Structure 1
Amino acid sequence: MYRHTRELQFTAKPSKPDALFAMKFQELLGGQFGEMTVMMQYLFQGWNCRVPGKYKDMIMDIGTEEISHVEMLTVMQARLLEGAPGEVTAQAVATNPALAAVLGGQNPQHAIVSGGGARPTDSLGNPWNAGYIVASGNLLTDFRSNAAAEGQSRLMTSRIANMTDDPGVKEMLAFNLARDTYHQQQWLYGIQMLVEEGFAEVEIEHSNAELENDDAAHVFYTGTDGSRAGEGTWATGPSIVDGKPFRAEELRPLTDDQGILPAPDPLQFVTYDGNQGPGKPGNAAGARAQGAENVVTKVKDALTGNDH
Structure 2
Amino acid sequence: MFRHQKELQFEVKVERPDPQLAKHIQELLGGQFGEMSVMMQYLFQGWNCRGNEKYKDMLMDIGTEEIGHVEMLCSLICQLLDGASPEQQAEAAKDPTLAAIMGGINPQHLIVSGLGATPKDSQGVPWNAGYIVASGNLLADMRANLNAESQGRLQVARIYHMTKDEGVRATFRKMLARDRYHQYQWMAAISELEEKNGVVVPASFPPEAEKESQPHALEFWDLSEGEESSTGLWATGSAPDGTGDFVYLPDPAPQGNIPDPIVPAPELHHDLDGQATNK
What is the TM-score normalised by the length of structure 1? 0.81
Shift of 1:188: 1.1
Q: What is the match of residue 290 of structure 1? A: none
Pairing 1:1-308 to 2, within 5 Å after superposition: 1-87=1-87, 103=102, 105-196=104-195, 198=196, 200-202=197-199, 204-209=201-206, 210-212=208-210, 213-249=213-249, 250-255=251-256, 257-274=257-274, 277=277
Alpha-carbon spacing, 1:167–1:270, altered in 2? closer, same or farther (3 Å): same
Deviations 1:8-58 (A, max 9, x none): 001111111100111111100001110000000000000000024211000
Q: Tell me the SS of whatever aligns to 2:119.
A: coil
Identity within the alignment, %: 51
Shift of 1:122: 0.6
Shift of 1:116: 0.2
Q: Tell me the SS of whatever aligns to 2:214.
A: coil
Deviations 1:160-196 (A, max 9, x none): 0000000000000000001111101101110122234
Alignment check: 8 A CA contact 1:143 1:190 kept: yes
Measure the CA separation in 1 of the matches of 2:72 and 2:243.
47
Measure the CA separation in 1 of the matches of 2:129 and 2:62.
19
Deviations 1:196-248 (A, max 9, x none): 4x3x2336544422332111000000012322101100000001123411011
Q: Tell me the SS of whatever aligns to 2:221.
A: strand
Deviations 1:131-165 (A, max 9, x none): 00000000000000000000000000000000000
Where relative contact order (Cα < 8 A, 6+ residues apart) is larger, the structure is 2
Once structures 1 and 2 are overlaid, which stretch shifts more, 175-184 or 219-228?
219-228
Alignment check: 8 A CA contact 2:26 2:122 kept: yes
Measure the CA separation in 2 of the matches of 1:147 and 1:56.
16
Alpha-carbon spacing, 1:34–1:127, altered in 2? closer, same or farther (3 Å): same
Measure the CA separation in 2 of the matches of 1:137 and 1:177.
28
Alignment check: 8 A CA contact 2:45 2:136 kept: yes
Q: What is the match of residue 96 of structure 2? A: none
Letter in 2 for 1:24: H
Measure the CA separation in 1 of the matches of 2:252 and 2:74.
50
Alignment check: 8 A CA contact 2:160 2:172 kept: yes
Alignment check: 8 A CA contact 2:19 2:102 kept: no
Letter in 1 for 2:34: G
Alpha-carbon spacing, 1:16–1:231, altered in 2? closer, same or farther (3 Å): same
Q: Tell me the SS of whatever aligns to 1:184.
A: helix
Shift of 1:272: 2.0
Query: In angstroms, what is the RMSD of aligned CA positions?
Result: 2.1
Letter in 2 for 1:215: P
Shift of 1:278: 6.7
Gaps of 5+ in 1: 91-99, 280-308
Gaps of 5+ in 2: 91-98
Once structures 1 and 2 are overlaid, which stretch shifts more, 26-35 or 264-273?
264-273
Q: Tell me the SS of whatever aligns to 1:215.
A: helix
Q: Tell me the SS of whatever aligns to 2:68.
A: helix
Alignment check: 8 A CA contact 1:82 1:116 kept: yes
Letter in 2 for 1:202: V
Measure the CA separation in 2 of the matches of 1:88 and 1:268.
61
Measure the CA separation in 2 of the matches of 1:211 and 1:266.
43
Letter in 1 for 2:171: M
Alignment check: 8 A CA contact 1:88 1:104 kept: no
Alignment check: 8 A CA contact 1:86 1:104 kept: no
Shift of 1:105: 4.8
The higher radius of gyration belongs to 1
What is the TM-score normalised by the length of structure 2? 0.89
